[in-house]
Amino acid sequence: QGCTQKYIVKNYFYYYLFKFSAALGEEIFYITFLPFTYWNIDHSVSRRMIIVWSIVMYIGQVSKDILKWPRPLSPPVVKLEMRTNAEYGMPSTHAMAATAISFSFFIATMNQYKYPFELGLAAAFVFSTLVCLSRLYTGMHTVLDVIGGALISAMLLVLLYPAWDTIDHLLLTSPFCPLFSIVVPLVLCYNYPKLDYYSPTRGDTTTILGAAAGATVGFWLNNQYSASAHTGTSAQPGLPLTSSTMVFVLARFFTGILVVLLTRWLTKSVVLGVLGYRYQFPMGDLQARRRLEVEVPYKFVTYSCVGLTATVLVPLLHQLLGLM
């Protein structure tokens, strides 16, 4: 599990294209694109994307560990990734996330902003297709894994779409929203399906649900205190990007990402330090950090703080700096 086959790259275009496409289904994309949407495009679009993303990813991760379908054998395939090799294969959560995010973004914006319907549909299709193909190229999934993931995600999107407005309204106005947003994800994380060996799926699921929980509490707080939706210069689909708009967009993005990354580092250090003191292990002990009583609280608290920071503190900082 710790070694990989040797291989020679013969086509660097496909190699870097699909390595990049694979990254579009991982944390580095989530932690940049979802906040970017919230800071620069539209709060309602971001809320709907996060709702769909968290539900789709939880179902996908749990399905993996219930079905327990193995990944492709190597050989004959050559695996270009090793971290996710410990996970099961069916369904491909990369395919699920790409389908959910791209099409929920398309559906949420098509009636709000002026851009050609065909162009939006094509962009969503190309984005999800590239991520799906990357899972085949990197040797991490079979064709059935990818098709299954995309179809499950599409089915969930169809089922959730009619309830979007209702769910969004409840999450913004219900007095029980903060309690519900924290308790339910925590219960799901602590009762995640048990495996015979360690797999990163539980930790990844906790990361996703924690981030969604923090963001949801942030949405609720903003609504309670009448924090206005973004109305300044923004990168709205269908509108030309002027140089002044780009300056504001980039300034908001880089300022926000810096704060988010700082929050993640600081919270992770503090929480791991507290848990290490409680359970008597050094912070660098990887095996200890994989234990249920450590992994779930440290990842949930860390990423819920990230979600809360991105939706509450960063917009306040943007206002303070005159970037809105």
Report pLDDT digits (tens) over 172-216.
Answer: 888 998 999 999 999 999 998 887 777 788 888 999 999 999 999
Amino acid at 58: Y
The reported pLDDT for the residue numbered 134 is 87
pLDDT band, residue 235 (cuts 50/70/90): low
Give phi and psi for 198, each to the nearest 5.
Answer: -70, 135
The answer, yes or no, to whether the previous bond of 76 is cis (omega within 30 of 0) is yes
Residue bearing the bigger pLDDT, 82 or 277: 277
Q: Which element (helix H / strand E) includes 28? A: helix 27-40
> In the listed set 139, 161, 183, which residue is the last one of a domain according to the structure?
161
Please indicate, yes or no, if residue 291 is contained in any of the structural domains. Answer: yes
Among 176, 200, 205, CA closest to 189: 205
Are both 152 and 187 inside the same structural domain?
no
Amino acid at 179: L
Are both 105 and 222 inside the same structural domain?
no
The answer, yes or no, to whether the previous bond of 178 is cis (omega within 30 of 0) is no
Distance of CA 185 to the CA centre of its chain: 15
Distance of CA 190 to the CA centre of its chain: 20
Give phi and psi for 38, each to the nearest 5.
Answer: -70, -40
Are both 151 and 191 inside the same structural domain?
no
Domain that holds residue 89: 1-161
Are both 171 and 23 inside the same structural domain?
no
Among 67, 83, 108, 320, CA closest to 203: 83
Are both 49 and 182 inside the same structural domain?
no
Amino acid at 247: V
pLDDT band, residue 227 (cuts 50/70/90): low
Distance of CA 69 to the CA centre of its chain: 23
d(CA 60, CA 43): 26
Please indicate, yes or no, if residue 128 is contained in any of the structural domains. Answer: yes
Are both 189 and 152 inside the same structural domain?
no
Give phi and psi for 71, each to the nearest 5.
Answer: -75, 170
The reported pLDDT for the residue numbered 72 is 79
Please indicate, yes or no, if residue 142 is contained in any of the structural domains. Answer: yes
Please indicate, yes or no, if residue 232 is contained in any of the structural domains. Answer: no
Residue 131: pLDDT over 70: yes
Q: Which residue is associated with the tokens 């169809």?
A: 158
Please indicate, yes or no, if residue 216 is contained in any of the structural domains. Answer: yes
Q: Write down the mean pLDDT value for the chain.
A: 84
d(CA 30, CA 110): 21
Please indicate, yes or no, if residue 231 is contained in any of the structural domains. Answer: no
Are both 24 and 136 inside the same structural domain?
yes
The reported pLDDT for the residue numbered 94 is 86
d(CA 275, CA 205): 20
pLDDT band, residue 84 (cuts 50/70/90): low
Are both 96 and 206 inside the same structural domain?
no
Report how many domains make up the chain: 2
Q: pLDDT tens, 8-30?
A: 777 788 888 888 888 887 878 88
Are both 151 and 190 inside the same structural domain?
no
| Maximum average pLDDT range among 80-89, 94-103, 134-143 | 94-103
For the record, the structure tokens of 159 come out as: 């089922």
Please indicate, yes or no, if residue 234 is contained in any of the structural domains. Answer: no
For the record, the structure tokens of 205 come out as: 């699921």
The reported pLDDT for the residue numbered 234 is 55
Provide the CB-side half-sphere exposure for 238 (13 A, CA). Answer: 13
Give phi and psi for 196, each to the nearest 5.
Answer: -75, -15
Q: What is the dihedral of CA 107, 97, 267, 187, to 10 degrees?
A: 100
The reported pLDDT for the residue numbered 214 is 93
Mean pLDDT score, 80-98: 78
Are both 120 and 171 inside the same structural domain?
no
> In the listed set 161, 187, 203, which residue is the last one of a domain according to the structure?
161
d(CA 137, CA 18): 7
Are both 189 and 97 inside the same structural domain?
no
Write out the catalytic residue numbers: 94, 141
Are both 176 and 127 inside the same structural domain?
no
Q: pLDDT tens, 254-308?
A: 999 999 999 999 999 999 888 888 888 887 778 888 888 888 899 999 999 999 9
Query: pTM of the prediction?
Result: 0.83
Please indicate, yes or no, if residue 204 is contained in any of the structural domains. Answer: yes
